């Protein structure tokens, strides 16, 4: 494991202003403990803001080899426990796609996890390919949605035909990749002319983020980038996309899952939350609320 200092991925700047100091040790032995829904601990490394363009990021961060190793080895058991709520979320995401792409075509779901969104799109008539770094997740995706095609690997490694998809989706993905601009360039090449890009990502300028400050629950080691409407629009434009729509995202979780996430933090509140999270009746109660994320729709220029 190595921490690396990186330039701003939007403007290439190397001057940064501190925003939030780290809350965890940089040399943590078990990195997987800080990644995915099944993380046992929550916290973040130093978070800074580019002095030139304002993009917020983790810096220094885990190096590329470490990130690839962690994601390839993830087995996110907690993700599966929220199956009902995640299916409803997948349906809501698909309704956004259908607003801009009413006729089914070829769709690439990047970071497809266990294939819930792929299943929804496939059942609506789309020809779906899912790309995912975790073999564990892909095995579950293939079992639940055998009609779709699933590929294990990273965007940088994938060998997909140029201009072969009418739509590409990245639900909770862009904030995790080492170089978002490079990822967007790959997706631009795979999209058909005038194809559509859909994504969900943290919004550092959201009301939730501003009110919670250093306690914002999306400040996590696994999140490398914290966009705003201005910085995501600039990054999209810089890589061949025109932003068409932006709206707040409302997450949907069981109360037990919310308590389990609070239990990832140290202290008395975390300890009490961990105890309550095991109550079976709390797993049956769901709530929907803003967590400081944004849905973005963009079109290939």
Do 193 and 300 touch, CB atoms closer than 8 A? Answer: yes
Question: Does position 10 have pLDDT exceeding 90, yes or no?
Answer: yes
Work out the mean pLDDT of the chain and round it to a whole number: 90
Question: Is it true that the peptide bond before 126 is cis, omega within 30 degrees of 0?
Answer: no
Q: Which CATH superfamily is domain 3-300 in?
A: Vaccinia Virus protein VP39 (3.40.50.150)
Predicted local confidence at residue 80, as pLDDT: 67
Split at pLDDT 50, 70, 90, the class of 167 is very high
SS3 content of the chain, % helix, strand, coil (to 5): 35, 30, 35
Split at pLDDT 50, 70, 90, the class of 280 is low
How many Cα neighbours within 13 Å face the side chain of 191?
24
User: What is the distance between the alpha carbons of residues 50 and 11, in angstroms, rounded to a whole number?
Assistant: 9
User: What is the distance between the alpha carbons of residues 226 and 247, in angstroms, rounded to a whole number?
Assistant: 16
Report the interhelical angle of 180-190 vs 229-238 (nearest 10°). Answer: 50
User: What is the distance between the alpha carbons of residues 4 and 63, in angstroms, rounded to a whole number?
Assistant: 6
Question: pLDDT tens for residues 84-109?
Answer: 888 999 999 999 999 999 999 999 99
User: What does each C-alpha distance from 133 to 58, 154, 156, 205, 291 come to in angstroms?
Assistant: 21, 6, 11, 29, 25
Can you spell out the DSSP letters for 14-54? --EEEEE--SS-TT-S-GGGGSSTT-S------EEEETTT-
Decide: helix, strand or coil at residue 122.
helix
**Nearest Cα residue to 46 out of 239, 160, 250, 214:** 214
Report pTM: 0.91
CA angle, corner 158, sides to 152 and 164, nearest 5? 115
Question: pLDDT tens for residues 26-71?
Answer: 776 677 788 876 677 889 999 999 999 999 999 999 999 999 999 9
User: What does each C-alpha distance from 232 to 150, 194, 249, 268, 287 come to in angstroms?
Assistant: 28, 19, 15, 37, 28
Split at pLDDT 50, 70, 90, the class of 123 is very high
Predicted local confidence at residue 33, as pLDDT: 80
């Amino acid at each position: 494991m190595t921490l690396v200092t990186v330039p701003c991925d939007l403007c290439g700047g190397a001057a940064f202003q501190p925003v939030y100091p780290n809350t965890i040790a940089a040399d943590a032995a078990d990195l997987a403990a800080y990644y995915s829904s099944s993380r046992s601990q929550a916290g973040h490394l130093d978070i800074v803001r580019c002095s030139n363009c304002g993009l917020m990021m983790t810096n220094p961060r885990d190096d590329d080899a470490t990130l690839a190793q962690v994601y390839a080895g993830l087995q996110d058991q907690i993700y599966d426990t929220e199956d009902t709520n995640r299916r409803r979320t997948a349906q809501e995401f698909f309704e956004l796609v259908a607003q801009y792409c009413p006729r089914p075509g070829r769709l690439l779901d990047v970071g497809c996890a266990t294939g819930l969104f792929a299943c929804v799109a496939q059942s609506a008539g789309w020809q779906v390919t899912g790309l995912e770094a975790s073999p564990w997740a892909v095995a579950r995706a293939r079992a639940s949605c055998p009609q779709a095609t699933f590929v294990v690997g990273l965007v940088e490694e994938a060998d997909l035909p140029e201009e072969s998809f009418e739509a590409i989706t990245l639900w909770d993905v862009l904030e995790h990749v080492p170089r978002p601009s490079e990822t967007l360039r790959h997706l631009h090449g795979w999209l058909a002319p005038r194809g559509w890009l859909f994504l969900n990502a943290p919004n550092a300028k959201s009301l939730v983020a501003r009110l919670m400050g250093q306690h914002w629950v999306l400040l996590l080691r696994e999140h490398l980038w914290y966009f705003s409407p201005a910085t995501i629009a600039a990054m999209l434009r810089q890589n061949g996309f025109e932003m068409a729509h932006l709206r707040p995202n409302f997450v949907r979780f069981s109360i037990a899952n919310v308590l389990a996430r609070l239990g990832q933090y140290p202290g008395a509140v975390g300890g009490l939350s961990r105890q309550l999270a095991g109550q079976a009746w709390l797993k049956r109660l769901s709530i929907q609320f803003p967590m400081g994320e944004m849905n973005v729709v963009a079109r290939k220029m």
